[in-house]
Structure 1
Amino acid sequence: MNLEKVLSRKFEAIEHPLVARDCMLYALGIGIGEAPHDPAQLQFAYEDGLKVFPSMVNVISHPGGWVKDPALEIDWVRLLHGEQAFEMHQPLEVGKTYVGSFRVTRVVDKGPGKGVMLYQEKQLHEQDTQRLVSTVTSTYVLRGDGGSGGTTNEAPAPHPIPERPADARCSIPTLGRAALLYRLSGDYNPIHADPALARKAGFEQPILHGLCTLGVATRAVLQTWCDNDPARLRSLRLRFSSPVYPGETIVTEFWRDGSTISFVARVAERDVVVLNNGRADIA
């Protein structure tokens, strides 16, 4: 990795008109609609009074695969998506156009052979009013770039999970076609669709997108703690621990401390933690 070029990279602002079809397609991609007569799900999947599911802020105005630019000298083939977070300042609304601005905020070098943590931030503003709608942060783990240098040696500590028994659980099955459906929201990485390429990448079969798993966990938070009201979700953050295979059931365990909800998600079929150090803040 060329640290100087990564830090000096300029990103163009990206306009994103939010149309009803895209919002409904995103909702279907994270499994909403499995109960098509349930008003709690229909509010995100039917155009009459349509609401935008909050975790959609993660996929709009995305800068794409910028890490593949040869000038940056990033070993992008070994990249992992380590963490994701979003904060809602205003709800997304169908019919509005949003503008995303993107920047690299810090780089933590763990040393040769240990990789680099690259932290990014996206801010979404309403085009007409310039109001800040959401702040989205993500962390890439660049496994092949340790020793390239960084801006700091301190990585933010993960949110701690309470050691007491969980206060609640929510089980949500995923569809066998979930990855094929979710990729239509913009992430066309072939390891989510092509069995041969997935095996080449070290997976038994195509895997579910990490941000799709995040969407399912967000559903669990709304269902368990927010009476399915998206306006009550203020923020959510988590770490990706392991991939999910489409068709598996995601079980999210929760610990509540006031307005703070801690959570961990695992797949029931393999008893493997797939999301860890989760935190949601609710109204």
Structure 2
Amino acid sequence: MTTLPGSALDPSAPLLDAGAAGHYRTVTRRALGRPASDRSGTGPLAAFVLTHPLAERTVADLAAGHGPYSLVHLAQQIELHHPARAGAPLDASAELDAVRVEPKGTRLALTTTLTDRTTGVEQARLTAHILLVGIGAAEPRGTLVPTAVPRQEAPGATVSHDLGIDRAWIADYGHAAGDLNPVHLDPQAARRAGFADVIAHGMSLVSLAVEEAAERYADGDADRVLAVGARFARPVLPGEGTTLDLTPSAAGDTVAFTVRSQGATAVKSGRLRLGPATGAGR
């Protein structure tokens, strides 16, 4: 049995670097065919990038001593309470909420949080559902609760946007996000993991939805995206015909999204929650 870490704290969480955050958004927007944004907001994906190193270490501690495994990102939810401020000292913490051994491996729910070290105010809370394929000796914990899929009332018209996802963009996104998993960068490593080629990062597809929704429904202000959640159904390979579908609510406060690749759904149950326009309060 693996003894699970209870919680982890990273007292040296990386500071938000405005230049790096801007580069991340610029790289993301390239697959949308959009130029760099002229808005300074970072949006909810900055919180994911800042907490990702701690989340990776927490999962690696769980998997230590069990040999090779594959990590499958099943779902992600992000609640953004306050946009990250460049240079503000942050604490990142991680908590394994639930662990369950299944025939394919170990499924877990991991919550990470970002807190302003100066004020003690929570900035963001992120929950990931992950499957570690090949690891079946973990100690069970908690109860895995399926991610909620709120129903969208009175949806508006759906718009679709073709995505330009190629190997160069996948690699550039990985370096901008700090996610250098070989299945995204090395075709041989991807084939050893069972894929025909490198695959796009799941969160890169979510970041595309955030950027496009901000442009269409939030005056280009990514910081108005206060929450985002999605489930990952299948990998996206470079060169495939991949399309983002956005469906705003009639009230304009939520946007449902999916990503389709080669006619199949790759990201499903996507949902963005938008805040009021700048100056109208949060």
Q: TM-score, normalised by structure 1?
A: 0.81
Assess if the C-alpha contact under 8 Å between 2:155 and 2:249 holds in 1.
no
* Equivalent position of 1:199 in the other structure: 191
Deviations 1:4-43 (A, max 9, x none): x21535443342111222112211331348433xxxx422
Amino acid at match of 2:130: Y
Deviations 1:184-215 (A, max 9, x none): 12111112111222222222221111111111
* Equivalent position of 1:252 in the other structure: 245
Q: CA deviation at 1:164?
A: 9.4
1:281 aligns with 2:278: no
Q: CA deviation at 1:166?
A: 7.0
Assess if the C-alpha contact under 8 Å between 2:8 and 2:58 holds in 1.
no
Alignment coverage as a number of residue pairs:
268
> Paired residue for 1:84, among 76, 80, 83?
76
The alignment yields a C-alpha RMSD, in angstroms, of 2.9
SS of match in other structure, 1:275: strand
Q: CA deviation at 1:159?
A: 0.8
1:35 aligns with 2:34: yes
What 5-or-longer segments of structure 1 have no aligned partner?
Answer: 45-49
* Equivalent position of 2:172 in the other structure: 181
Task: Give the whole-Å Cα distance in 2 for the aligned partners of 1:235 and 1:217.
Answer: 12
Q: CA deviation at 1:70?
A: 7.2
Matches within 5 A, 1:83-102: 83-102=75-94
* Equivalent position of 1:229 in the other structure: 221
Q: CA deviation at 1:247?
A: 4.4
Task: Give the whole-Å Cα distance in 2 for the aligned partners of 1:91 and 1:247.
Answer: 34
Task: Give the whole-Å Cα distance in 1 for the aligned partners of 2:248 and 2:106.
Answer: 31
Assess if the C-alpha contact under 8 Å between 1:84 and 1:238 holds in 2.
yes
Q: TM-score, normalised by structure 2?
A: 0.82
What 5-or-longer segments of structure 2 have no aligned partner?
Answer: 276-282
Structure 1 stretch 158-167 or stretch 232-241: which is displaced more? 158-167
Task: Give the whole-Å Cα distance in 1 for the aligned partners of 2:173 and 2:257.
Answer: 23
Assess if the C-alpha contact under 8 Å between 1:190 and 1:197 holds in 2.
yes
Assess if the C-alpha contact under 8 Å between 1:220 and 1:252 holds in 2.
no
CA 74–105 in structure 1, closer or farther in 2 if over 3 Å, else same: farther
Assess if the C-alpha contact under 8 Å between 1:207 and 1:245 holds in 2.
yes
Assess if the C-alpha contact under 8 Å between 1:86 and 1:136 holds in 2.
yes
SS of match in other structure, 1:52: coil
Assess if the C-alpha contact under 8 Å between 1:238 and 1:276 holds in 2.
yes
1:208 aligns with 2:200: yes
Task: Give the whole-Å Cα distance in 2 for the aligned partners of 1:9 and 1:215.
Answer: 27
SS of match in other structure, 1:243: coil
CA 71–228 in structure 1, closer or farther in 2 if over 3 Å, else same: closer
Amino acid at match of 1:25: H
* Equivalent position of 2:121 in the other structure: 131
Assess if the C-alpha contact under 8 Å between 1:6 and 1:72 holds in 2.
no
Amino acid at match of 1:281: R
Amino acid at match of 2:227: S
SS of match in other structure, 1:204: coil
SS of match in other structure, 1:17: coil
Task: Give the whole-Å Cα distance in 1 for the aligned partners of 2:259 and 2:63.
Answer: 38
> Paired residue for 2:257, among 243, 263, 267?
263
CA 236–71 in structure 1, closer or farther in 2 if over 3 Å, else same: closer
Amino acid at match of 1:42: S
* Equivalent position of 1:13 in the other structure: 11
Structure 1 stretch 52-61 or stretch 71-80: which is displaced more? 71-80
Task: Give the whole-Å Cα distance in 2 for the aligned partners of 1:221 and 1:93.
Answer: 22
Amino acid at match of 2:266: V
Structure 1 stretch 113-122 or stretch 72-81: which is displaced more? 72-81
> Paired residue for 2:149, among 155, 159, 163?
159
SS of match in other structure, 1:93: coil
Structure 1 stretch 169-178 or stretch 77-86: which is displaced more? 169-178
SS of match in other structure, 1:21: helix
